[in-house]
Chain A
Amino acid sequence: MSAAAFTGTNVMDIDAAKVRGAGSNVHFDKVSVAYGAHVVLHPLTLDIAPGEILAMIGPSGSGKTTALRAVAGFVRPASGRIRIGATDVTDLPPYERGLGMVVQNYALFPHMRVEDNVAFGLRAQGADRALIAERVRDALGTVGMSAFAKRLPRELSGGQQQRVAIARALAVRPRVLLLDEPLSALDAQIRRNMVEEIAKLHRDLPGLTILYVTHDQTEALTLADKIAIMRDGRVCSHGPTGELYRRPPNRFTAEFLGRANLLPVTVVEAAGGKGFARAALGDTTLASAGRDEKAGDRSLLCIRPQHLSLTDEGGHSNRISGLLREVHWQGELTHLVLDVDGTAVRVSTTRLPIALPEAGTRLPLFFAPADTSLVPEDAGV
């Protein structure tokens, strides 16, 4: 019952109902934010569909938190409107927006037990006791924390506190859940588990729209339906997760999302019809999935570290060679860094030749045209 409990739309409460009445998409309409003369968010137009997880990722200081806090109502846009469902919430105070918010350091109320933390929103909204008890039970069940209802926050581990923080946000049945770097205070192992749990949570609550702010590309790639990449207060690319990863529209996206290798090439032959474009890297001609490049354009050939192979396999018709600079053996994976005509190229491989190659060796690298894409050289923000 726990899962179904959160997807209900018939919510008891007060003014937040204004927001909940219709749909749960989030719409940024040319929203900009400035602190004094310092513009930290340039006019942003973005739509998050109902039930979608949008990950907003970007380096620290790029304006992600600012965008999220504008939705929550803690930052006043200098211009533009924000709509949740059919309601323009730009002028509504935070407590009338009907959102759930989870912050990096959890911010559990230290003087309240777990169950009182989870009950907080409903109590504040004046829900009746029976409903509160039921919702608290459901929310704690959903995050697997039922056994800890009577604990104080300081008696919980970081991961457990984060679950309680999520339960607290879910208990008010928000139409939109705002998560601001929810996992960055946790260590790597727990973070991986929590990412999976949030994914599961969203499978259980498919109607819940989530804005997930992070600087961690793994979290974004694992969880998000769509990704918006932020840079210096602007969205520099936005699209379905897989597409953005396979076909990054610019250099920043390619490097930020999955640390792609980018080889400077000159287009020799455009990708007419369905075929691959042909591009020259020095004397070598390579086949690559293209966009709308014309012959003669300078471009970047994007190839991921895990798609480069040291051995010639079927379909890997592209071949380059480079001077081995570094070898990092990590058990499961081996990371190599090669110098290919002056460009550092990273290779991650599970399979190595019998003997680990030594630095200074010249090695061939093979890859499939289908694993590549061309990224325009001059794009970026």
Chain B
Amino acid sequence: MLVWSRSGRLVLWALFALVFGVLFLAPLAVILLSSLAGQWNGVLPSSLTTAHYGDVLHGSAGDAVKASLVTGFLASALALVSGTWAALSLRLQGHALRRLLGLLFFIPSAVPSVSVGLGLLVAFSNPPLLLNGTVAIVMVAHFVLISAFTFGNVSAGLARLSPDFEQVASSLGARPGYRLWHVTLPLLAPYLVAAFGLSFALSMGELGATVMVYPPGWVTLPVSIFSLTDRGDVFAGAALTMILVVATLALLLGLERVAARASGS
């Protein structure tokens, strides 16, 4: 809805600033301030320091960043491949089956992630499927939680793709594999990149399931943050959170550029 009057627009902007400022920026600002706080007893910190960053960087921050990035990358890549595959093959199915399977894909995102973690823990605790205590089970947990989003994104992209492109390609003699590689996937590229970015961001922030399944030596950023704050080390937790935010932002911005190039604009 367009608002034309000047005062109307001012009110809208003020509302937007309020909602955005209070709900998004205030928590971030508080975290940023805590990560830099030497002492914080009053309304604002009484002194500022970068010591917390030094501490976490000397501690296990590096490992946590690595664990998070590797988990995020692998789980997202896996989710991208399987989500795309599922979306492409479901397109060929009848409408009813497509709806049903599409819904099934989304069940893990409706279940609390802690329960997903618990489920995996129980399911994979006996041979031959013994994954407990391995890095793989972390990947699996993340994969289960994010694949619905890649599937959803790619399906949305496919639904918007005019069948004309693929049909013209076929009529020109392109076999299905050639057509997929040279027509369908390039046309889907913006959706694939968006799907990957979204899964990566989700994976970077995943805590509930990870806490249930992570093995020693593979502590992701959210898990480290959780244990730091749990121990009462709030300022260090805040510093680590800022590192997580920056890493995720950098990644998303990078992907955005890739997407821009892929869609040729």
Chain A residues close to B by CB (< 8 Å): 13-14, 16, 72-74, 93-101, 103, 105, 107, 109-111, 120-121, 124-125, 152, 168-169, 172, 178
Chain-A contact segment, one of B61-69, B133-141, B159-167, B230-238? B159-167
Partner of A72, one of B165, B167, B174: B167
Question: Contact: A121 with B162, CB < 8 Å?
Answer: no
Chain-A contact segment, one of B80-88, B179-187, B215-223? B179-187
Q: How far is the CA of A103 from the CA of B169 in the complex (A)?
A: 12
Partner of A107, one of B165, B173, B174, B264: B165
Q: How far is the CB of A216 from chain B (nearest CB, A)?
A: 20
Question: Contact: A98 with B164, CB < 8 Å?
Answer: no
Question: Contact: B164 with A124, CB < 8 Å?
Answer: no
Known contacts: A95-B173, A124-B172, A125-B173. The answer to whether A111 contacts B187 by CB under 8 A is: yes
Q: How far is the CA of A103 from the CA of B170 in the complex (A)?
A: 13
Known contacts: A110-B187, A124-B175, A172-B173. The answer to whether A152 contacts B264 by CB under 8 A is: yes
Question: Contact: A101 with B168, CB < 8 Å?
Answer: yes
- Chain B residue nearest in CB terms to A93: B170
Q: How far is the CA of A95 from the CA of B169 in the complex (A)?
A: 8
Question: Contact: B165 with A109, CB < 8 Å?
Answer: yes
Partner of A169, one of B172, B182, B186, B264: B172
Question: Contact: B164 with A120, CB < 8 Å?
Answer: no
Is B124's beta carbon under 8 Å from chain A?
Answer: no
Partner of A95, one of B165, B175, B183, B264: B175
Q: How far is the CB of B74 from chain A (nearest CB, A)?
A: 28
Q: How far is the CA of A98 from the CA of B168 in the complex (A)?
A: 12
Q: How far is the CA of A233 from the CA of B182 in the complex (A)?
A: 36
Q: How far is the CA of A74 from the CA of B189 in the complex (A)?
A: 25
Q: How far is the CA of A74 from the CA of B182 in the complex (A)?
A: 20
Question: Contact: A172 with B187, CB < 8 Å?
Answer: no
User: What number of B residues sit within 8 Å (CB to CB) of A?
Assistant: 20
Known contacts: A107-B164, A152-B264. The answer to whether A120 contacts B169 by CB under 8 A is: yes
Question: Contact: B167 with A124, CB < 8 Å?
Answer: no
Known contacts: A95-B175, A105-B164. The answer to whether A111 contacts B170 by CB under 8 A is: no
Question: Contact: B186 with A111, CB < 8 Å?
Answer: yes
Question: Contact: B164 with A172, CB < 8 Å?
Answer: no
- The residues of A that contact B13 with a CB separation of less than 8 Å are none
- Chain B residue nearest in CB terms to A101: B171
- Give 20 new A-B contacts, CB below 8 A, not counting A13-B173, A72-B167, A121-B172: A72-B171, A94-B167, A94-B171, A97-B171, A99-B171, A101-B168, A101-B171, A103-B164, A103-B167, A103-B168, A105-B162, A107-B167, A109-B165, A109-B183, A120-B172, A124-B172, A124-B174, A124-B175, A168-B172, A178-B171
Binary flags per residue of B243-265, CB closer than 8 Å to A gives 1, else 0: 00000000000000000000010
- The residues of A that contact B179 with a CB separation of less than 8 Å are 95, 124
Question: Contact: B187 with A98, CB < 8 Å?
Answer: no
Known contacts: A124-B178, A124-B182. The answer to whether A107 contacts B162 by CB under 8 A is: yes
Q: How far is the CA of A191 from the CA of B10 in the complex (A)?
A: 48
Q: How far is the CA of A72 from the CA of B169 in the complex (A)?
A: 12
Task: Enumerate 7 A-B pairs (CB-CB under 8 Å) in ascending A order.
Answer: A99-B171, A103-B164, A107-B164, A109-B187, A111-B189, A172-B173, A178-B171
- The residues of B that contact A74 with a CB separation of less than 8 Å are 167, 170
Partner of B173, one of A98, A105, A152, A178: A98
Q: How far is the CA of A74 from the CA of B264 in the complex (A)?
A: 30
Q: How far is the CB of B176 from chain A (nearest CB, A)?
A: 8
Partner of A124, one of B162, B165, B173, B187: B173
- The residues of B that contact A100 with a CB separation of less than 8 Å are 171-172
Find the residue from B168, B171, B178, B189 having the highest chain A CB count within 10 A: B171
- Chain B residue nearest in CB terms to A121: B172
Q: How far is the CA of A168 from the CA of B162 in the complex (A)?
A: 18
Q: How far is the CA of A291 from the CA of B169 in the complex (A)?
A: 48
Q: How far is the CA of A98 from the CA of B183 in the complex (A)?
A: 19
Q: How far is the CB of B179 from chain A (nearest CB, A)?
A: 8
Question: Contact: A94 with B183, CB < 8 Å?
Answer: no
- The residues of A that contact B186 with a CB separation of less than 8 Å are 109, 111
Known contacts: A111-B264, A152-B264. The answer to whether A16 contacts B162 by CB under 8 A is: no
Q: How far is the CB of B96 from chain A (nearest CB, A)?
A: 13
Question: Contact: A95 with B170, CB < 8 Å?
Answer: yes
- The residues of A that contact B164 with a CB separation of less than 8 Å are 103, 105, 107
- The residues of A that contact B172 with a CB separation of less than 8 Å are 95, 100-101, 120-121, 124, 168-169, 172
Q: How far is the CA of A125 from the CA of B174 in the complex (A)?
A: 7
Q: Top 4 A-B pairs ranked by shortest CB distance?
A: A121-B172, A124-B174, A107-B164, A94-B170
- The residues of B that contact A95 with a CB separation of less than 8 Å are 170-175, 179
- The residues of B that contact A152 with a CB separation of less than 8 Å are 264
